[in-house]
Amino acid sequence: MAVIEWKKENCVAVITMCNGANKHNIEFAKQLNICFDEILEDASLLSIVLTSSDEKNFSQGIDIEWMGQKMQDQDFKSIKSFMYGMNEIFKRILLMPIPVIAAINGHAFGNGAILSCACDFRFMRKDKGFFCFPEVDVSIPFLPGMIAFVRKSIPESQFNEMILSGKRVTAPELEASQVIVKACDDQETLMAEAMAFAGTFMKKRGIFGELKKRMHKEVVHTIDTQDPVHIDALDLFVEG
């Protein structure tokens, strides 16, 4: 069963997460990577819009039930494969030679919000959904790479408050601090605005990709060098 699908609309690739709450597990990472492979094969595609088919959620982040079961089964290989798989997703978005635009149509929690921060631009509905990092309340610390690239998308003072408090933030608040391009009235307006914005990018992949490579060089270095220390040690939860 597909948990992610994509279609071509003119020069825009629309990736739709289509598994309800769109929780992240090893299959999610695998299918999103396949989507990216297929999109990059089509040179006529000049941008990507990432969204969800669910009426309530953009993405609820890591599939805690899946991960908890793997921990109980001592299937540590699958957990590490998932974490490295998600890091590959983040790096691919950071280095994608075409713009990646998140159309946040509902709740974006935890890894779902983090995924949107890896994107180049974000739009969000203001009539439905919150954006938040609940990791402080579920004892799952950010990996160093996550901290590095979320900082490119959220002003430091706001990020400091959000990561340490778990505060739920609305689209108008995010628009005011320029985390998102626009807070949209409803689902129809969200997709219309995101697609119109995506259609303005008629850039050559070579220069676009090189700019992102240079912009995010240090972030990618952090993902590659610091995250494995925590992933390999399964230092993914904090007790007490």
- pLDDT, tens digit, 9 for 90 and up, residues 175-204: 999 999 999 999 999 999 999 999 999 999
User: pLDDT at position 11, please?
Assistant: 97
Count Cβ atoms within 10 A of the Cβ of residue 214 and give its class: 0-12 exposed, 13-18 middle, 19 or more buried.
Answer: exposed
Q: What backbone torsions phi and psi does residue 6 show, to the nearest 5 degrees?
A: -145, 155
**First-to-final CA distance of the chain:** 38
Rounded to whole angstroms, how far apart are CA atoms 206 and 191? 27
User: pLDDT at position 235, please?
Assistant: 85
DSSP secondary structure code for residue 202 in this structure:
-
What average pLDDT does range 11-35 have in this prediction? 96
- pLDDT top residue among 5 and 1: 5
What six digits make up the tokens of 6?
């994509």
User: pLDDT at position 44, please?
Assistant: 97
* Cβ atoms of 9 and 199 closer than 8 Å: no
What average pLDDT does range 45-54 have in this prediction? 98
pTM score, whole prediction: 0.96
CB atoms within 10 A of CB 219: 23
Choose among 158, 161, 163, 131: nearest CA to 147.
163
Rounded to whole angstroms, how far apart are CA atoms 190 and 195? 8
Helix axes 64-72, 76-95, angle to 10 degrees: 140
Choose among 17, 46, 177: nearest CA to 106.
17
Mean pLDDT lowest for which of 3-12, 185-194, 227-236?
A: 227-236
What are the residue boundaries of the structural domains of the chain, listed by start? 4-198
Rounded to whole angstroms, how far apart are CA atoms 174 and 50? 18
User: pLDDT at position 63, please?
Assistant: 94
- pLDDT, tens digit, 9 for 90 and up, residues 72-114: 999 999 999 999 999 999 999 999 999 999 999 999 999 999 9
For 4-198, CATH gives 3.90.226.10
pLDDT > 70? residue 240: no
The CA angle 150-154-156, to the nearest 5 degrees, is: 100
What average pLDDT does range 52-56 have in this prediction? 95
Q: What percent of the chain clears pLDDT 90, i.e. is strictly above it?
A: 93
pLDDT > 80? residue 239: no
Q: What backbone torsions phi and psi does residue 84 show, to the nearest 5 degrees?
A: -70, -35
Q: What is the dihedral of CA 3, 175, 132, 23, to 10 degrees?
A: 0
State the residue for tokens 């990216």. Answer: 36
